[in-house]
Structure 1
Amino acid sequence: MENLITTGIYYYPEHWNENQWERDIKKIADMGFEFVHLAEFAWFKMEPTEGKFEFEWLDKVVNLCTKYHLKVLMCTPSATTPAWMRTNYPETFVMDGHYIRGEQGTRGLGSIVNPAYRKFVQAIVTEMAKRYGTNKSVVGWQLDNEPDAKADYSPSSQEAFRQWLQGKYKTIDALNAAWGTAFWSQWYNNFDQVIIPNTNLVGWWGNNPHALLDFKRYCADAQGAFLDFQADILRNNILKDQFITTNYTAVSTGADPRRTNKLDFATYTAYPNGGTSNIGDQGFRLGNGKVILFAAEYYKSVGGISGVMEIQPGPVNWGSYNPLLLPGTVRMWLYHTFAAGGKLASSYRFRQINYSAEQYHAGVIQTDGVTPSPGGEEYMQFMKEIKALRKQYKPGAVMPEKLADRSTAILWNLENYWTIDRQKQTWQWDTWNYPVKFLEIAKSFGAPVDIIPETADLSGYRFVIVPAYEMVDSALVKKWQEYAAKGGHLIITCRTATKDRMGHFWETGWAAPISGLIGANVKATDMLSNGAKGDILMTSTHYGWNNWADILAPDKNTASLAVYNNQFYSGKAAVVKHSVGKGSVTYIGVDTDDSKLESDVLQEIYTGAGATTEHYPPGVYVYWRDGFYMAVNYSSDNYEMKMPGHAKILIGSKVLEPGGVLVWNE
């Protein structure tokens, strides 16, 4: 804990002349980095021909790291198969939805369920583990790179999918019932007839949503099993204090970190920029704050800690446009990951490469190999400041009571994302960012927020938000009921509990499993055309909506907080609140673009429960961690932080400029 956060850098010795390695490693140490990330894409150099392993070159780099007091994060190279594998074993590559095999020339195209591919992965990981598993300079291992649970339609995957289905359903009749195959004569007589549902060939409209949901589940399970497969190999050969992790992408719509069992913790890749225009006229230079905001909380749900494994130190090469960053932005991103609880921060990459696919992707060192880039300078500043903060760290710091009183959890999982995104019903529904809006609202209140799985203990949170949790069962609804009855404040939103775990509607009323919990029935759902304007009235304030609206019929003991004020159902409830035991349940039946209604409803709930709230503007995120308050500013405007007179500013100033950072204690 006393180190707060440790910093590292991606280095690819295989890209550079050997006579430059020592110069580069020394420079990494001189800049203040603490570990070096190695070997994730170097399979070709470690196994140049099948079964012939060459590690002497990597030994030299590891020894240089030891010489300059740098730790090593070693990586398994399964994301980049060597050319000899594609030539001799083409079946080891994935097939796309048109049944065309992947080709050598990029990364992430190995079929993770193919037995031959698995055999080669086992061999290279075993050799690496035996070579470096007892090396004191190696502190941990990263598995693969940005695992994405890629859809694979190859024969190996078809067979693995059928085996997965048999394991889940046991009988073909059970599968037919779950998939609703009586519709359009999709009925199967045995598992051998089942193939992976393919939107490319059947068409979007014709695909079975239950089959597609299971395919997503299978892909995520296969990815998790593949990572656990590598972790098991490592654990049999490495020191107990070497950790095992992987780097999921911040926006991970396929791979589910909660489906791995052998990782010590999960990290994430974060690229907030890429030309996205965000808040104000400078937003495109500051990046999208939602990227780190959500990922930093979500990935902590695996192992309890996290960090950013890959974050760029400047422009990228893949954005719709790739502008220079506003000075200070890289440092702000680093502080954001730190403030949100990150234990490590690593940059992709040390040197900006002079050739190949990512030439324009910035590094901390420019193309001359020696000059720090602006982002590199900001990394150096961050690392210098972290070392100063380590001296200020006091073990045992307890979260201030005013923050604990706002403690918030957001219940979220990928399965609900998959099922809703498949049948959004309106193009205006923003599936990924829907739960993020509630995270932003809670952070604007100054609340500490966790993103949790449904298996988590809810008792430690004063407020639990359940955004668009479409698939439920009776046990989960009972858990929510018990949380509220014991004094918790539960906020449920539209599109919750409309389906069972297989994505079937209930053969009762709409969202019937929660009607008693929310004290109301969902009578109907409306969506407006792009130009239509819906109006909602709450305590004499008008709010606009356009995306989604549940029309509610509250029970006599349920308060109607907001009503629709136009359309043919004017006067019907849009938001209701119901007392349950010692707590409360609020149902927000509408999704708005500006989130003003949702924010005001939550404000009423927090203050009504006796919690104080802040009013931070969009893009200003404030955290408390290990005794430090920290704030970052993704907006294009200055913001003056309100703090008590006894507060001591450690870094920055009271006025947060765009891209600014402020650290203080009280």
Structure 2
Amino acid sequence: MNKRIVIAFLAILITGFKAKSQEIKKFFPEKDLITTGIYYYPEHWDESQWERDIKKIADMGYEFVHLAEFAWFRLEPEEGKFDFKWLDKVVGICEKNNLKVLLCTPSATMPAWMGEKYPETYIMYGNYIRGEHGTRGLGSNANAKYKFFVERIVTALAKHYGQNKNVVGWQLDNEPDAKTDYSPAAQQAFRQWLQRKYKTIETLNAAWGAAFWSQRYNSFNQVIIPNLTLVNWWGNNPHALLDLKRYSADEQAAFLDFQATALRKNISPNQYITTNYTAISPAANPRLTKKLDFAAYTAYPNGGAGNNGSLGFRLGDSKTLLFASEYYKSVGGVSGVMEMQPGPTNWATQASLLLPGTVRMWLYHSFAAGGKLACSYRFRQVLYGAEQYHGAVIKTDGITPSQGGEEYIQFNKEIKQLRQLYKPGTSLPQQLAARKTAIVWNLENYWTIDRQKQNVRWDSWNYPVKFMEIAASFGAPVDVVDENANLSDYKVVIIPAYEMADPALIKKWTQYVEQGGHLIITCRTATMDRNGHFWEGETAAPLSALIGAHITNSDMIIPYSKGDVLSGQNHYPWNIWGDLLKVDDGTTILASYNDQFYKGTTAVVKRNIGKGTVTYIGVVTDDMKLEKEILETNYKEVGAEVAHYPAGVYAYWRDGFYVAINYSSENYEMKLPANAKILIGNKTLEPAGVLVWNE
């Protein structure tokens, strides 16, 4: 390629990145740090209470109000007849109380008239029975009539509020989850998606391994959506199911972009567009959207269970915000929590009271990880409906703040204090930059592994998150990136269980190592091609040259028995997964199996390539202690000093502030430098404790 073309192309990319950065700053000025909001449903309450409620929202220190999410029945009570007068009044009351407004498109809850007159707008289940009116999230994204109605209401809202200076942004839909739809419209859309991807039916037959069990097709018209209801789980084609996951995620992303396009035609460029993916989103793929300014997420860390000790069930799962706060940045560079749990939930295994301070700790976790907004669901605890027992920041009397409400008030006050101390132009301290880490992860590898786990104890979602926990325990800044990211920005890169890969991707990983990177790859990486086929050769054949070893077999041990891995003089129990490795000359053995009939076989290897190193961890140990020690060694090799925080204690840096939080059930004494100035909290972090300082 011509050198001038390359330079021009890079200039375009850099300009694009700067433009995107400027857009985000326009929406979220850096000096504001984070902005807080609350979900309010005026349609649930008597109009005489709106003034009182919204004034209370302002008095509690909130800065915006989230409106209209599930209000299609009020916005369009009859087909084609819009009523925005009630919403105009609420928006006006917000403005009077100096509250901004975040509007939501109402596509998640279809009005009764639509289902009555146009039942084809509902999704169809695996038994080929349509959904029907009575809950949320049942629209068929592939159905033209449903999309017509969505575009019409979204356009009407955009024309009405798109130039309102008090409206700061728009949330699309609600918790998009890429449900499988078996309706005729979806069947046709799936076939069209396949035809665009494969071009010929023979190419599809090859990709799906259709020679197996006589599954071959003569034309795309014969293809139907794989149906786990009618074809038993074991008998379904894993490659067809993978493409169904891909199609469903594409369809969901296209539906969001469809709404965003309708909005952008009529709204101010000063209004942002986002949505609220769930923190654990195993179906919808946020990285597929092209029209969102950024992606937000919902966070319910406590569903009646937690981790980190005896108080864990009151403190919640520390992994929820840890992963989501970084993963969703991969859409627009920033993120934030759109829906934060304010107390017990209605769907929990048990609705335990939260330890006082827990909601505030969650808010600080989102803030510390770079969140630009923190919004809570909801303002008032509803008196009726499916979520009566879902906590709110105001109790059922409509006046009294709940425990979570009081903690939001405290957080809002403290953020305003921190804004006064903010100094622009601060950069990541060198000791943190030295241990900057990336975890390369994508949803497709979760889909394939979770479909064929081979061991019921394999935790497909949380296995990568465990490495994030390890890095966080060392005080390392961690990004969750896709495979196209520029890895040279990171001192250490972790690739956990990246099942589907290709030689081009492995070449990119090799180049990262050659240029001085420290790469850690784990078991179940590159064992399949992009179609989910095994290589016609040894296991993970394209990976062998990079890691300097060959996988000859993999083992699992029954739940109540343990295998033993030996590294130096240290023993590590395992039973979930173990690759047996044959080592090339020049490759260093870090750990070997110490029992079973293959005693002495290698489990972990490391080798130098160019200026860097690559480590392959072929075993999953019970407590991840071996993996943690390997990772610590890599940090030391790049010259980084590491912290040693206990499980559940996290420390972050953002915008000149250090923030530490404690999900553990024990007090933890933070070790601060002599020049540290404590701004909030104290050195002794109690469970649910928060500490903020600067230097």
Q: TM-score, normalised by structure 2?
A: 0.95
Question: Which whole-Å deviations, capped at 9, do the CAs of 1:443-489 have from their partners, x for residues lacking one?
Answer: 00000000001111111100000000000011111110110000000
The match for 2:565 is 536
Whether the aligned pair in 1 keeps the contact of 2:68 and 2:104 (CA below 8 Å) is yes
Could you tell me how far apart the structure 1 residues matched to 2:238 and 2:503 are? 22
Q: What amino acid is aligned across from residue 535 of structure 1 in structure 2?
A: D
What secondary structure sits across from 2:332 in the alignment? coil
User: What residue identity is the alignment partner of 2:617?
Assistant: I
By how many angstroms is 1:399 displaced?
1.0
Instruction: Measure how far apart 1:643 and its partner are.
Output: 1.0
Distance in 2 separating the partners of 1:601 and 1:96: 47
Aligned-residue sequence identity (percent) comes to 70
Aligned to 2:110: 81
Aligned match of 1:127: 156
**1:201 Cα shift?**
1.0
Deviation for aligned residue 1:608: 2.3
Deviation at 1:597, TM superposition (A): 1.1
Which of the numbers 274, 282, 286 marks the counterpart of 2:315? 286
1:342 pairs with 342, 361, 371, which one?
371
Aligned mates of 1:97, 1:529 — CA distance in 2: 34
Amino acid at match of 1:189: N
Map of 1:552 onto structure 2: 581
Secondary structure of 1:575's counterpart equals strand
Residue 162 of structure 1: which of 191, 200, 206 is its match?
191
* Residue 53 (structure 1) aligned with residue 82 (structure 2): yes
Deviation per CA, 1:23-81, whole angstroms, max 9, x where unpaired?
A: 11111011100000000100000000100000000000001111111000010000000
Mapping for residues 409-424 of structure 1, pairs under 5 Å: 409-424=438-453
| Distance (whole Å) between structure 1 residues aligned to residue 303 and residue 544 of structure 2 | 43
Look up the match of 2:605: 576
Q: What's the TM-score, normalizing by structure 1?
A: 1.00
Residue 565 of structure 1 deviates from its aligned partner by: 0.4
Q: Secondary structure at the match of 2:444?
A: helix
Q: Distance in 2 between matches of 1:460 and 1:409?
A: 9
Matches within 5 A, 1:546-625: 546-625=575-654
- Aligned residue among 207, 211, 214 for 1:185: 214
Amino acid at match of 1:515: S
Distance in structure 1 (CA, Å) of the matches to 2:270 and 2:508: 37
Match of 1:634 among 639, 646, 663: 663
SS in 1 for 2:550: strand
- Counterpart position of 1:247: 276
Pairing 1:498–2:530 present: no
CA–CA separation in structure 1 for the residues paired with 2:310 and 2:449:
33
What is the SS of the residue equivalent to 2:483?
A: coil
- Partners of 2:640 and 2:410 lie apart in 1 by 37
SS of 2:229 mapped into structure 1:
helix
How many Å apart are 1:592 and its aligned residue?
A: 2.0
Q: What is the identity, as a one-letter code, of the residue corresponding to 1:127?
A: A
Choose which of 287, 292, 295 in structure 2 pairs with 1:258: 287
Tell me which amino acid in the other structure corresponds to 2:66. H
The Cα offsets for residues 179-229 of structure 1, whole Å up to 9 and x where unpaired, read as 001000011000110000111111111000000000000000000000000
Matched, 1:71 2:100: yes
- Return the alpha-carbon distance in structure 2 between the equivalents of residues 96 and 273 of structure 1: 30
Note if contact 2:276-2:298 (Cα within 8 Å) is conserved in structure 1. Answer: yes
Deviation at 1:413, TM superposition (A): 0.3
Q: Of residues 639, 655, 658 in structure 1, which corresponds to 2:684?
A: 655
Match for residue 143 of structure 1?
Answer: 172
- The answer (yes or no) to whether the contact 2:434–2:638 under 8 Å persists in 1 is no
Matched ranges for 1:4-15 at <5 A: 4-15=33-44
Paired residue secondary structure (1:2): helix
**Cα deviation per residue 1:507-563 (whole Å; 9 max; x = unaligned)?**
011101110101111111111111221000111000000100001111110000011
**1:368 to 2:397 alignment:** yes
For residue 656 of structure 1, report the CA deviation from its aligned partner. Answer: 0.3
Q: Secondary structure at the match of 1:205?
A: helix
Tell me how far 1:256 sits from its aligned partner: 0.3
Q: Describe the superposition over 1:616-665 as per-residue Cα deviations: whole angstroms up to 9, x where unpaired.
A: 00000110111111011111000000111111110001000000000011
Aligned to 2:490, the other structure's residue is in SS state coil
Distance (Å, rounded) in 2 between the aligned partners of 1:529 and 1:296: 35
* Aligned CA-pair RMSD: 0.6
| Partners of 2:281 and 2:458 in 1: CA distance | 18
**What SS is found at the alignment partner of 1:503?**
coil
Distance in 2, Cα, partners of 1:476 & 1:155: 37
Match of 2:229 among 177, 195, 200: 200
Paired residue type of 1:378: E
Distance 1:204 1:92 in 2: 28
Q: Is the 8 A contact 2:306 2:318 kept in 1?
A: no
- Give the aligned residue type for 2:62: F
Tell me which amino acid in the other structure corresponds to 1:249. T
Question: Which amino acid in structure 2 is aligned with residue 18 of structure 1?
Answer: E
Distance in 1, Cα, partners of 2:690 & 2:115? 48
Alignment partner, residue 212 of structure 1: 241
Structure 1 unaligned residues grouped into runs of 5+:
none
1:236 equivalent to 2:265? Answer yes
Q: Which residue of 2 is the match for residue 172 of structure 1?
A: 201
Give the SS at the match of 1:201: coil
Alpha-carbon distance between aligned partners in 2 of 1:220 and 1:274, rounded to the nearest angstrom = 26
Q: What amino acid maps onto 2:230 in structure 1?
A: L
Alignment correspondent of 1:34 = 63
Between the aligned partners of 2:340 and 2:635, the Cα distance in structure 1 is 35
Q: Quote the Cα distance in structure 2 between the aligned partners of 1:335 and 1:455.
A: 30
CA distance in 1, matches of 2:411, 2:84: 34
Letter in structure 2 aligned against 1:487 = G
Question: 2:477 is aligned with what amino acid?
Answer: P
Q: Are 2:458 and 1:439 equivalent residues in the alignment?
A: no
For residue 435 of structure 2, give the secondary structure of its aligned residue in structure 1.
Answer: coil
Q: Give per-residue Cα distances to partners, 1:73-117, cap 9 Å, x unaligned.
A: 010000000000111100100111111111111100000110000
Write the distance in 2 (CA, Å) between the matches of 1:392 and 1:173: 64
Task: Look up the match of 1:313.
Answer: 342
In the alignment of these two chains, the number of paired residues is 666
User: Secondary structure of 1:294's partner?
Assistant: helix
Q: What code does the residue aligned with 2:562 have?
A: K
Q: Specify the alignment match of 2:16 in structure 1.
A: none
Instruction: Provide Cα deviations, 1:373-411, integer angstroms capped at 9, x if missing partner.
Output: 110000000000000000111111111111110000000
Task: Describe the SS at the equivalent of 2:339.
Answer: strand
